[in-house]
Amino acid sequence: MVTPNLTGLVLAGGRSTRFGADKSVHTLHGVTLRDIAGRRLAEVCDAVLLSVRSPQSAEVTSPFTGSVADVFPGLGPLAGIHAGLLAMKSSRLLVMPCDMPFVSAETISRLAAPSNAPAVVATHDGFPIGVLACYDVSLLDMLEARLRKGGDALRVVEFVRSLPVWTPIEIGEVESSNVNTPTP
Q: What domains are defined for the chain?
A: 3-176 (3.90.550.10)
Distance separating the N- and C-terminal Cα atoms of the chain: 36
**Which pLDDT band, with edges at 50, 70 and 90, does 3 fall under?**
confident
Average pLDDT over every residue of 110-138 = 96
Average pLDDT along the chain: 88
The string of pLDDT tens digits covering residues 29-38 is 888 889 999 9
* Per-residue pLDDT, 15: 54
Return the bridge partners of 11, or none: 51, 97
φ/ψ of residue 51, rounded to 5: -85, 120
CA distance linking residue 51 with residue 119, whole number of Å? 19
* The pairing of beta strand 66-69 with beta strand 119-124: unpaired
This prediction's pTM: 0.91
CA distance linking residue 18 with residue 26, whole number of Å? 13
Q: Which of 89, 139, 99 is nearest to 11 (CA)?
A: 99
CA 127 to chain centre: 16
Q: Which residue has the higher pLDDT, 181 or 5?
A: 5
The string of pLDDT tens digits covering residues 94-122 is 999 999 999 999 999 999 999 999 999 99
